[in-house]
Structure 1
Amino acid sequence: MRKAIVYASVHHGNTEKLVKGIAEECQVDLIDAVKQPDADLNSYDMIGFASGIYFSKFHRSILEFAEKNLPDDKKIFLICTYGGSANYKSIERILDKKHASVVGKFGCKGYDTFGPFKLVGGIAKGHPNEEDMKNAVDFVKGLH
């Protein structure tokens, strides 16, 4: 089964750290939505979308990528890093339009210094950590 993870990691590199750790342990191709906005996903059996959460949404580059490039009827998994809480609604709206089936979701804390968090030196320092990485790898290995 051919898998890809389309990701955006623009603030502290939390999401990139996570997906690169997954790629080391699992057979997945990584696609940076910012650097490869026109990547073709047709040959993949399962596609992951990974992003930090910005204002309760996946990064706009991921949302735009999915809207433009995701073929209909694909198996999808979602990964997010967050300072506050996981939120998948923004990407799920697009996935519904594409008749995608979500086969799993994974989220973990990620270092965040946005807005008021900057005043206190950020939250979730040190995340994603080793345990987060192991859990993310186990999540992807368990997808079918």
Structure 2
Amino acid sequence: MEQAERKKMRKAIVYASIHHGNTEKLVKSIAEECQVDLIDAVKQSDADLGSYDMIGFASGIYFSKFHQSMLKFAEKNLPDNKKIFLICTYGGSANYRSIEQILNKKHSKVIGKFGCKGYDTFGPFKLVGGIAKGHPDEEDIKNAVEFVKGL
């Protein structure tokens, strides 16, 4: 019964993937294995999220924040009292604070967080040819898929 209920739950992942497609690589792999609708916040600034039981926000980390397009999207489109999961790719470290501030205002509950390294050539990293080359790799992708399956 529980398995059938989980299948009926409507899930969406709103994502922003800008420089190297790190985040997009993760969410597309998740969508292939889990029943999840993908919404690109960079290309689509509006969406009705009301009918989703669970919503993911996925972004690279830029200056310790989720991408600006993602934050604006959440501020504008997220209904109150939703179950949320967060995914990020990063060169330095995972940081969810920027999106969590919006989620708190919307009385949303974060039910899980996943982060992994992502190839990064921004700012000073460009001088050294980037960091976290090859990430997200197969292992990162597998872990991301398992994370969403386990929600």
TM-score range, shorter chain: over 0.9
Say which SS state the counterpart of residue 142 (structure 2) adopts: helix
1:140 paired with 2:140, answer no
Query: In the alignment, which residue of structure 1 is the partner of 2:119?
Result: 111
Whole-Å Cα distance in 1 between the matches of residues 14 and 148 of structure 2?
14
TM-score (normalised: structure 2): 0.94
Whole-Å Cα distance in 2 between the matches of residues 24 and 72 of structure 1?
28
Pairwise CA RMSD of aligned residues? 0.4
> How many Å apart are 1:36 and its aligned residue?
1.4
Whole-Å Cα distance in 2 between the matches of residues 34 and 134 of structure 1?
25
Q: How does 1:1-144 map to 2 (within 5 A)?
A: 1-143=9-151
Whole-Å Cα distance in 2 between the matches of residues 115 and 66 of structure 1?
26
> How many Å apart are 1:88 and its aligned residue?
0.1
> How many Å apart are 1:71 and its aligned residue?
0.1
CA deviation profile, 1:34-73 (whole Å, cap 9, x unmatched): 1111111001000000000000000000000000000000
> How many Å apart are 1:74 and its aligned residue?
0.2
Whole-Å Cα distance in 1 between the matches of residues 142 and 150 of structure 2?
12
Report how many aligned residue pairs link the two structures.
143
Whole-Å Cα distance in 2 between the matches of residues 98 and 24 of structure 1?
29
2:39 partner amino acid: I
2:26 partner amino acid: L
Computing the radius of gyration from Cα coordinates, the structure with the larger value is 2
Runs of 5+ unmatched residues, structure 2: 1-8
Runs of 5+ unmatched residues, structure 1: none
Whole-Å Cα distance in 2 between the matches of residues 95 and 78 of structure 1?
11
